[in-house]
């Protein structure tokens, strides 16, 4: 009787272990599927919306080239341009993307793919400012 109990206990532990392992693999796959990394933005266009006052379309053409276009609002200077950018993975689903325009206006953007919040720090001459906004992918 003790042997049967031991065998049943061993089988039960083994089956539970297999089920938990399968569940954890499935959970990891689901999390990885929702994870945004630097490679995921290449070839995509995002709308950067700053309280509907200014709206830009930002296309990451390659791993180093971004095209931006002002699609709503007025801002002195160019309304479209292609520039070199750099990007860093800050944490899971949070990217830091930065570029300097030909006018020497510099932008540092934090894109939080968990909340779609956008925080843009900009520098022009000796002035710095911050623009909070939202972003979304556009087709």
**Greater model confidence, 59 or 21:** 59
Q: Residue 3: its pLDDT value, please?
A: 62
**C-alpha span between 90 and 69 (Å, rounded):** 25
Report the candidate in 83, 113, 111 with the shortest Cα–Cα distance to residue 96: 111
30 pLDDT more than 50:
no
- With a CB cutoff of 8 Å and minimum separation 6, the contacts of 131 are 50, 54, 119, 120, 122
**C-alpha span between 54 and 10 (Å, rounded):** 64
- Which position has the token pair 């999390």? 31
**C-alpha span between 107 and 117 (Å, rounded):** 16
**C-alpha span between 38 and 61 (Å, rounded):** 12
**Greater model confidence, 76 or 21:** 76
What one-character DSSP code corresponds to residue 103? T
Q: What is the pTM of this model?
A: 0.75
Q: Grade residue 16 by pLDDT with cuts at 50, 70 and 90.
A: low
Q: Residue 139: its pLDDT value, please?
A: 82
* pLDDT one-digit tens code per residue, 35-62: 888 899 999 999 999 998 999 999 999 9
**C-alpha span between 24 and 41 (Å, rounded):** 27
Q: Grade residue 31 by pLDDT with cuts at 50, 70 and 90.
A: very low
- Is 123 in contact with 131 (CB distance < 8 Å)? no
Percent of the chain at pLDDT > 70 equals 76
67 pLDDT more than 60:
yes
């Amino acid at each position: 009787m003790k042997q049967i109990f031991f065998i049943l206990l061993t089988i039960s532990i083994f089956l539970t272990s297999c089920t938990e392992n399968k569940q954890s693999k499935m959970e990891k796959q689901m999390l990885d599927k929702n994870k945004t990394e630097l490679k995921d933005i290449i070839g995509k266009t995002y709308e950067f919306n700053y309280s509907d006052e200014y709206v830009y379309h930002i296309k990451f053409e390659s791993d180093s080239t971004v095209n931006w276009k002002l699609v709503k609002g007025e801002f002195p200077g160019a309304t479209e341009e292609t520039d070199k950018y750099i990007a860093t993975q800050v944490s899971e689903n949070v990217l830091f993307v930065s570029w300097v325009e030909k006018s020497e206006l510099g932008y540092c953007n934090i894109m939080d793919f968990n909340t779609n919040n956008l925080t843009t720090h900009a520098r022009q001459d000796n002035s710095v400012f911050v623009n909070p906004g939202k972003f979304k992918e556009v087709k």
